[in-house]
Amino acid sequence: MVLGRRSGVEVAFSSAAGQVEQLVWEQAALSVGFEELAPVSAFPVVPGRRWGPGWWWSATTGRHVVHGSATMRTQLMVLDRDPAVTGLAGRPVRFVWRDEADGRVRSWVPQLFARYADGTGLFADCPSSLSAGGTRARRAGAVLEAACARVGWAYRRLEPLPAVVEANLRWLAGYRHPRYRGLSRLQAVVAGAFAVPRPLFDGAVSVGDPLQVLPVVYHALWSGQLVAGLDEPLHGGSLVCVRVGVGLGRGQEVGVDVLGGE
């Protein structure tokens, strides 16, 4: 990988035609839809490692996003739940720059890209611990952080989640697909049942058949329309309530009736 005539940071990526292109970073940030790109290089498969590359189905985009580790999948899960995120991609670009200390060309491929609703972006790595990666990772991170800051974007090494929070989100992620959203009337009645904080199972049973209602409750917890403390294991007695200013059905009033019959 070589740098062009202009100094500074450049990025290489695979175009829609499958050809590798390389642009000055600031130009690419303005013109390239990184969230639409295929990985610029494959995630490595390490013999003996319990976890290898895989795919995360994104509720945000309705498409699969490649990941290379369990920690990366967890961070994809967190970003997929963020209502400000509109696009996601795995390893879409390679950053390239010349090291000021020794003049050598360096490169780094961040693991994740997220596009936000305001058009800005986040490049991120997902270390198993904040100390992972060593000196090379820290130096690359400093270069990427400065480059992203110049265009009003961000680069971060994402901190691993506490185990309990991760387990709760992983459970709720199982209900992220829109098929669990429920009909608008059921959404509104669920919102009414949790208009004030209430135990999860108690509120679900008050609405109707738990087999019908609980998936809707879990989907609403995933999407943030209902809220519960996730720093303790989620269970039937967990207090759940509607997020302030949010109803569960578009254009729906928060209902207080109880579902009966069908």
Q: Residues 203, 217: contact at Cβ < 8 Å?
A: yes
Same domain? For 144 and 47 the reply is yes
| Averaged pLDDT of the chain | 88
Q: Tell me, what CATH number does 84's domain have?
A: 3.40.1350.10
pLDDT recorded at residue 50: 67
For β-strands 121-125 and 154-157, DSSP reports them as parallel
pLDDT tens sequence across 97-107: 998 878 899 99
pLDDT tens sequence across 12-35: 999 877 789 999 999 999 999 999
Same domain? For 235 and 142 the reply is no
Q: How many domains does the chain fold into?
A: 2
Q: Which of 162, 153, 80, 150 is nearest to 110 (CA)?
A: 153
| Assigned domain for 255 exists | no
- pLDDT-above-90 percentage for the chain: 75
| Assigned domain for 96 exists | yes
Kindly state the DSSP code that residue 126 receives in the 8-state scheme. -
pTM: 0.85
| Assigned domain for 71 exists | yes
| Assigned domain for 260 exists | no
Q: What is the spatial distance between Cα 176 and Cα 173, in angstroms, rounded to a whole number?
A: 5
Same domain? For 38 and 117 the reply is yes
Task: Domain of residue 211: give its range.
Answer: 163-242
Kindly state the DSSP code that residue 43 receives in the 8-state scheme. P
pLDDT at 198 over 80: yes
pLDDT recorded at residue 2: 55
Same domain? For 56 and 34 the reply is yes
pLDDT at 127 over 70: yes
* Summary count for the chain: helices (H), strands (E): 7, 13
The tokens describing 204, both together, are: 């679900």
pLDDT recorded at residue 260: 35
Lowest mean pLDDT among 137-141, 168-172, 241-245: 241-245
The values of phi and psi at residue 212, to 5°, are -90, -35
| Assigned domain for 258 exists | no
pLDDT recorded at residue 256: 29
Q: Which of 115, 130, 157 is the last residue of a domain?
A: 157
Same domain? For 126 and 198 the reply is no
Q: Which of 157, 178, 194 is the last residue of a domain?
A: 157
Same domain? For 58 and 167 the reply is no
Task: Provide the b/e sequence for 189-218 (b: ≥16 CB within 10 Å).
Answer: bbbbbbeeebebbebbbbbbeeeebbbbbb
Higher pLDDT, 68 or 43: 68
Same domain? For 122 and 235 the reply is no
What is the average per-residue pLDDT within 199-216? 96
Q: Residues 141, 154: contact at Cβ < 8 Å?
A: no
49: number of Cβ within 10 Å: 9
pLDDT recorded at residue 119: 96
pLDDT at 143 over 90: yes
Lowest mean pLDDT among 73-77, 80-84, 126-130: 126-130
Q: Tell me, what CATH number does 207's domain have?
A: 1.10.10
pLDDT recorded at residue 253: 30
Same domain? For 187 and 229 the reply is yes
Q: Is 117 helix (H, G, I), strand (E, B) or coil?
A: coil
Higher pLDDT, 260 or 114: 114
Q: What is the spatial distance between Cα 199 and Cα 71, in angstroms, rounded to a whole number?
A: 31
Placement of tokens 């709760």 in the chain: 168
Placement of tokens 């305001």 in the chain: 118
pLDDT tens sequence across 42-52: 877 777 666 67
Same domain? For 19 and 69 the reply is yes
The alpha carbons of the chain give a radius of gyration, in whole angstroms, of 22
| Assigned domain for 253 exists | no
Same domain? For 115 and 211 the reply is no
